Amino acid sequence: MKRLIEYGYKGKIYPINPKDGEIAGLKAYPTVLDVADPIDMALIVINAKHVLTAVDQCGQKGIKGIVVISAGFKETGPEGAALEKQLLQKVQSYGMRMVGPNCLGVVNTDPTVKLDACFAESLPVRGGIGFVSQSGALGGGILNILKDISLGFAQFISIGNQADVNADTALEYWENEDDVKQILLYMESIADPRGFRTLASKASKKKPVLALKSGRTAAGASAASSHTGSLAGADKAADALLKQSGVIREFSLGALFNSAKVFSHCPIPKGDRVAVITNSGGPGIMATDAICEYGMQMAPITDETKTYLRSYLPSAASVKNPIDMIASAPLEHYQKTLEAVIADPHVDMIVVIYLPFLGLKDIDVAKAIMEIKAQHPQKPIVGVFMTKNDFFEKLSEMEVNIPFFMFSEQAVDGLNRLNQQRLWLERPEGIVKEFSVDKDRVSALFDKVGSESRTQLTTAESIAVLSAYGIRICKDANASSEDEAVAIADKIGYPVVMKINSTKISHKTDVGGVRVGIESAEDLRTQYQDLMAKLKEKNLLEGLEGVIIQEMVPSSREMVCGVATDPQYGHMMMFGLGGVFVETFKDVTFRLAPLTDQDAHDMIRSVKAFKLLEGARGTIPAKLDQIEETLERLSQLVEDFPEVEELDINPLLISDKDGEAVAVDARIKIVPPKASFL
| Res. 224: pLDDT tops 80 | no
**Going by C-beta distance under 8 Å and a sequence separation of 6 or more, which residues neighbour residue 515?**
497, 498, 499, 527, 531
Cβ atoms 578, 558 nearer than 8 A:
yes
Question: How does pLDDT run across 112-157, given as a tens digit for each residue?
Answer: 999 999 988 888 889 999 999 988 778 878 887 787 788 899 999 9
| Res. 12: pLDDT tops 70 | yes
Structural domain that includes position 407: 267-426
Q: Are residues 505 and 620 in the same domain?
A: no
| Among candidate residues 367, 398, 426, the one where a domain is terminated | 426
pLDDT computed for residue 396 by the predictor:
86
d(C-alpha 157, C-alpha 334), whole Å: 42
Q: Are residues 605 and 529 in the same domain?
A: no
When pLDDT is cut at 50, 70 and 90, the band that residue 215 belongs to is confident
Q: Are residues 542 and 665 in the same domain?
A: no
pLDDT computed for residue 378 by the predictor:
96
Is 356 strand, coil or helix? coil
d(C-alpha 212, C-alpha 450), whole Å: 42
Strand partners for 385? 354
| DSSP H or E stretch at residue 235 | helix 234-244
252 burial class (0-12, 13-18, 19+ CB within 10 angstroms)?
exposed
- Residue 398 Cα distances to 24, 209, 256, 384, 393, angstroms: 33, 26, 22, 17, 9
pLDDT computed for residue 582 by the predictor:
80
Residue 322, preceding bond cis, omega within 30 degrees? yes
Is 91 strand, coil or helix? helix
d(C-alpha 108, C-alpha 99), whole Å: 14
Q: Are residues 600 and 665 in the same domain?
A: yes
Question: How does pLDDT run across 82-120, given as a tens digit for each residue?
Answer: 999 999 999 999 999 999 999 999 999 999 999 999 988
Q: What is the DSSP letter of 223?
A: G
Q: Are residues 562 and 422 in the same domain?
A: no
Question: How does pLDDT run across 518-577, given as a tens digit for each residue?
Answer: 999 999 999 999 999 998 888 888 888 899 999 898 898 999 999 999 988 999 999 999
Find the range with the poorest average confidence among 188-202, 279-293, 401-415, 497-511. Answer: 497-511
pLDDT computed for residue 219 by the predictor:
43
- Is 69 part of a structural domain of the chain? no
- Within 377-463, strands assigned E span 381-385, 404-405
When pLDDT is cut at 50, 70 and 90, the band that residue 358 belongs to is confident
Helices (H), 597-660: 597-605, 610-614, 624-640
Question: How does pLDDT run across 596-631, given as a tens digit for each residue?
Answer: 999 999 999 999 999 999 987 788 999 999 999 999
- Within 8-112, strands assigned E span 22-23, 26-27, 41-44, 65-68, 97-99, 105-108
Q: Are residues 389 and 509 in the same domain?
A: no
Question: How does pLDDT run across 446-475, given as a tens digit for each residue?
Answer: 999 999 999 999 988 999 999 999 999 988
Query: What is the domain-level CATH number for residue 505?
Result: 3.30.1490.20
When pLDDT is cut at 50, 70 and 90, the band that residue 230 belongs to is low
Cβ atoms 90, 52 nearer than 8 A:
yes
| Res. 584: pLDDT tops 70 | yes
- Is 296 part of a structural domain of the chain? yes
When pLDDT is cut at 50, 70 and 90, the band that residue 223 belongs to is very low
Q: Are residues 569 and 528 in the same domain?
A: no
Query: What is the domain-level CATH number for residue 392?
Result: 3.40.50.261
pLDDT computed for residue 618 by the predictor:
80
- Is 484 part of a structural domain of the chain? yes
| Res. 504: pLDDT tops 70 | yes
Q: Are residues 566 and 544 in the same domain?
A: no
Q: Are residues 375 and 391 in the same domain?
A: yes
| Res. 476: pLDDT tops 90 | no
Q: Are residues 573 and 657 in the same domain?
A: yes
Rg (the chain; Cα; Å): 31
What is the percentage of the chain residues whose pLDDT exceeds 90? 78
Q: Are residues 405 and 486 in the same domain?
A: no
**Going by C-beta distance under 8 Å and a sequence separation of 6 or more, which residues neighbour residue 91?**
55, 66, 97, 98, 163, 164
Question: How does pLDDT run across 640-651, given as a tens digit for each residue?
Answer: 999 999 999 999
- Is 574 part of a structural domain of the chain? yes
d(C-alpha 664, C-alpha 202), whole Å: 39
Cβ count within 10 A of residue 610: 19
Query: What is the domain-level CATH number for residue 614?
Result: 3.30.470.20
| Among candidate residues 400, 426, 452, the one where a domain is terminated | 426
Q: What is the DSSP letter of 138?
A: H
| Among candidate residues 551, 582, 603, the one where a domain is terminated | 551
Question: How does pLDDT run across 157-184, given as a tens digit for each residue?
Answer: 999 999 999 999 999 999 999 999 999 9
pLDDT computed for residue 510 by the predictor:
76
Q: Are residues 643 and 496 in the same domain?
A: no
| Res. 370: pLDDT tops 90 | yes
| Res. 675: pLDDT tops 90 | no
pLDDT computed for residue 233 by the predictor:
64
Per residue in 258-283, is it b (16+ CB within 10 Å) or e — as a string?
bbbbbbbbbeebeebbbbbbbbbeeb
pLDDT computed for residue 135 by the predictor:
83
pLDDT computed for residue 362 by the predictor:
95
Number of folded domains that form the chain = 3
- Is 512 part of a structural domain of the chain? yes
Provide the edge-to-edge strand list for the sheet that holds 65-68: 41-44, 65-68, 97-99
- Is 328 part of a structural domain of the chain? yes
- Is 662 part of a structural domain of the chain? yes
pLDDT computed for residue 673 by the predictor:
62
- Is 374 part of a structural domain of the chain? yes
